Amino acid sequence: MGKKILITGGAGFIGSHLVDELLEHGYEVTVLDNLDPQVHGAISAPPAYLSSHVEFIYADIRNSEAVKKAIKGTEAVFHFAAAVGVGQSMYQICRYTDTNNQGTAVLLESLVGSGVEKLIVASSMSVYGEGMYQTAQGECVDCVSRTPQKLKNGIWEPLSSNGEYLSAVPTPESKRPDLSSLYALSKYDQEKMSLMIGRAYGFDTVALRFFNVYGTRQSLSNPYTGVLAIFASRLLNNKRPFVFEDGKQMRDFVSVKDVSRACRLALEEPAAADIVINIGSAKSYTILEIARKISLAVGREHINPVVSEKYRVGDIRHCFADITLASRILQYTPKVDLIRGLTDMAGWLEGQVAYDFVESANEELVKRGLSL
């Protein structure tokens, strides 16, 4: 039997794929998950896609007794348990802070003296806020912002301090964090807390900053999940995908298969310690491109996206990954291109039921003054 690994939040989208990856490579896996209804719906047992070859513990990450029980005898921990969603975090402030920050604190206290050798914590590209930019003269600009007034006037692109338009370039880990949502703040706190405590108590810690992860098993009824799943949910209900701003904002979309492999590499690579590493595809697409590609993949190409010319507080314009560090330290190279990934996702979507709550979620943001 291989090493025993714990995955908090392991019944979720990324966690369950990591379960498969680890089992395939001979590891013994325990999953701790509270089966959050926003993600899993009204179920009281592990989802059918979760391998039966895991030990499953139904518990909340904030339950210290359950966490200590789950950790016992494990050699490494993947910490994926978190409340996820930029917009929702801006009004469910207590929930996000309690789940993400306090939950991580409970885990870290439980790790002290436990004998666990390594902690891999799931972070997010959201900690960057805006990605890296460059001036026409080739000078890097790592701290830009978009004022509410400019957004209200439909000026979507960030400008330099002298009003010059900037070009987006791949974002490296050295880019200064710019926390534009409570979710981003909580993920940054998870990173810093984990690295700090790992350093103090002598267990290796690595934070993986995931970019826009997509693939099978993503919650289709959670309006705060990834944009690809949100678009798929709309299309399965024969509704038009809703695109904020002008749809030309750029993101890095990375297959969950590549992400789960990167996680295993981070577990196995001794040099992946006391460090933060980007995990992305090293390619960028506009949101409008993505809306059209998923429409084509699911056979709904006749359904055109709605380009809203509206914005949400906390949204950023462009951010896509520089994966040089992942390549050098983990020998990580993305293997699943977008077309193949969308084709796999479309096959899984056949027969799936998606409850579309996107409009009600958008209305909630408008009501709270968080969206135009």
For residue 300, being part of any structural domain is answered with yes
362: pLDDT confidence band, cut at 50, 70 and 90?
A: low
For residue 372, being part of any structural domain is answered with no
158: CATH: 3.40.50.720
Mean pLDDT of 95-113: 97
- Mean pLDDT taken over the chain: 92
Instruction: Say what the pTM is.
Output: 0.94
Contact status, residue 96 vs residue 83, Cβ threshold 8 Å: yes
Range of the domain at 58: 4-367
For residue 354, being part of any structural domain is answered with yes
What confidence tens digit (pLDDT) does each residue in 179-209 have? 989 999 999 999 999 999 999 999 999 999 9
254: pLDDT confidence band, cut at 50, 70 and 90?
A: very high
For residue 55, being part of any structural domain is answered with yes
Contact status, residue 19 vs residue 54, Cβ threshold 8 Å: yes
Distance CA 335, CA 129 (A): 27
8: pLDDT confidence band, cut at 50, 70 and 90?
A: very high
Q: How far is CA 46 from CA 51, 81, 217, 326, in A?
A: 9, 15, 13, 32
For residue 346, being part of any structural domain is answered with yes
Mean pLDDT of 3-31: 97
Number of structural domains in the chain: 1
For residue 301, being part of any structural domain is answered with yes
For residue 54, being part of any structural domain is answered with yes
Count the residues in the chain. 372
Q: What is the model's pLDDT at position 225?
A: 73
Q: What is the model's pLDDT at position 160?
A: 85
Q: What is the model's pLDDT at position 357?
A: 58
What confidence tens digit (pLDDT) does each residue in 108-143 have? 999 999 999 999 999 999 999 999 999 999 999 988
What confidence tens digit (pLDDT) does each residue in 325-361 have? 999 999 999 999 999 999 999 898 887 776 665 666 5
Query: Which percentage of the chain shows pLDDT scores above 70?
Result: 94
294: pLDDT confidence band, cut at 50, 70 and 90?
A: very high
372: pLDDT confidence band, cut at 50, 70 and 90?
A: low
